[in-house]
Amino acid sequence: MKQIAGAVLAGGESRRFGSPKAFAKREENYFFQFAVNALRPFVQDIYIVSHPSLVSRFQQMTIDKVVIDEEMYRGQGPLAGIYTVMQRTDAEWVFVLPCDMPYIRASTVAKMMEYIDEQFDIIVSAHFGDIQPLVGIYHRRTVEHIEQLLETKNNRMMSLLECCRVRYVNEQDFLEDKIVFRNINNREEYDNSMT
């Protein structure tokens, strides 16, 4: 099997949520743990990529690698997180998940991985037209494009997708419960999803 690393993006500021989303809870687990647990069976290493203020908290809670966004691009969003993990790993592919999808499943990760294909640079979830760049598998060859975008302060994930060969995995490839891709941005979404 191709070498693959896991990246859990947890370097946002959770401004809308009001406290670090990675440490919000669903049942007995912290949000970031759902991403970690979903990736665990399939990847060699998992990198939690966050920012300096959260590092020690993560380190107390996990055996996985906790890294911070490269200083040069800190504050530039998820692309900076993916860039950082690609600098740390020599894995050919990086499976990216956000820290705020508390219904994500290992079975979803497994099904996405079936679409890894050297003809593509990126495999991305796009169920029912809902493109989820943060549920995606990125080949390390994309790092050059990522770097170019970050250099020019273009931080949009969609800009990366536009300049790469992307396999959009949709509901015809495999049917997944919509709840799996639910991400939590604010308190209202949290309250609605927990009740």
CA gap 114, 158 in Å, rounded? 23
Amino acid residing at 163: C
* Rounded distance between C-alpha atoms, residue 10 and residue 21, angstroms: 8
When asked if residue 12 is in the footprint of ligand GTP (CB under 6 A), the reply is yes
Chosen residue from 23, 45, 77, 116 binding ligand GTP by CB under 6 A: 77
Instruction: Choose the binding region for Mg ion from 7-15, 54-62, 140-148, 166-174 (rule: CB under 5 A).
Output: 7-15
- Least distance from C-beta 81 to ligand GTP, angstroms? 3
Pair 33, 21: CB distance under 8 Å = no
Among 6, 11, 12, 136, which residue interacts with Mg ion (rule: CB under 5 A)?
12
Nearer to ligand GTP, 48 or 166 (CB): 48
> Binding partner of residue 155 among Mg ion, ligand GTP, none, CB under 5 to 8 Å per kind?
none
| Residue 11, marked binder | yes
Query: Residue 66 binds which one of ligand GTP, Mg ion, none, with CB within 5 to 8 A depending on kind?
Result: none
What are the residues binding ligand GTP (CB under 6 A)?
9-17, 21, 49, 69, 75-78, 80-81, 98-100, 134, 185
